[in-house]
A and B are shown apart, each in its own frame.
Chain A
Amino acid sequence: GAVVSQHPSWVICKSGTSVKIECRSLDFQATTMFWYRQFPKQSLMLMATSNEGSKATYEQGVEKDKFLINHASLTLSTLTVTSAHPEDSSFYICSAGDRGNSPLHFGNGTRLTVT
């Protein structure tokens, strides 16, 4: 079945540094990818919609300059957390949809800890 690979699965970084998270669709072309953030024991909150070859659409309240999204190809989207701070520590999950009408496929998530 369709697989979405997310890398890294966990990362620890120092405050002020930037972290890049990759989301790859391994066996299908993902025209659209979604980035979610999940706080401990809470639900997933949509951060942005990433469309191949165009600018991402951010949800209200999400800082586009802090959470940079690039969807340069049909199989790769990246989320860069710039100048990370401890409050950015969270679980980030991507999902991808193909050209059909199949349900979204989710990556295994990235646990970001900012010290």
Chain B
Amino acid sequence: AQSVTQLGSHVSVSEGALVLLRCNYSSSVPPYLFWYVQYPNQGLQLLLKYTTGATLVKGINGFEAEFKKSETSFHLTKPSAHMSDAAEYFCAVSEGGSNYKLTFGKGTLLTVNP
């Protein structure tokens, strides 16, 4: 069975500061890993995904994540936070491919202070 742990239900940063959202996963097969962002009362928007190949993945809005198999981690980073980055972020894992069912972490609420 697969699972996702997001450390920190709430992360607060200042505008312009580094954003680091942590995600660890558990999977019995090579995982497909995703980060999604959710704004209030909306669905999920894909930020980036890791399937195979390069372990450093770049996504939209300046976000990137690095797959570290030895640490079973897939942390999300952004060098400089913007006010518009304030949202809920979900890490997810799939064992069956990119369009297979996803198991989500509990989410991390990112607030950006001016």
Residues of A that sit less than 8 Å from B by CB: 4, 6, 32, 34, 41-44, 46, 49, 91, 93, 95, 97-98, 100-104, 106-109, 111
- Does A102 lie within 8 Å of B98, measured CB to CB? yes
- Does B104 lie within 8 Å of A43, measured CB to CB? yes
Chain B residues 35-67 with CB under 8 Å of chain A are 36, 41-46, 49, 51
17 other A-B residue contacts (CB within 8 Å) besides A34-B101, A97-B98, A109-B41: A6-B43, A34-B102, A41-B109, A43-B90, A43-B104, A43-B105, A44-B90, A44-B102, A44-B104, A49-B101, A93-B43, A95-B102, A100-B99, A101-B97, A103-B34, A103-B98, A108-B42
B102 to chain A, nearest CB (A): 7
Nearest neighbor of A10 in chain B, beta-carbon distance? B41
CB contacts between A and B, total, < 8 Å = 57
- Bound: A108/B39 CA distance, A: 10
- Bound: A95/B90 CA distance, A: 15
Which listed residue, B43, B90, B100, B106, touches A109 by the CB 8 Å rule? B43
- Does B103 lie within 8 Å of A106, measured CB to CB? no
Residue B107 is within 8 A (CB to CB) of chain A in the complex? yes
A104 to chain B, nearest CB (A): 6
* Residue in B99, B104, B106 whose Cβ sees the most chain A Cβ within 10 Å: B99
B100 to chain A, nearest CB (A): 8
Which listed residue, A46, A91, A104, A109, touches B99 by the CB 8 Å rule? A104
Nearest neighbor of A94 in chain B, beta-carbon distance? B43
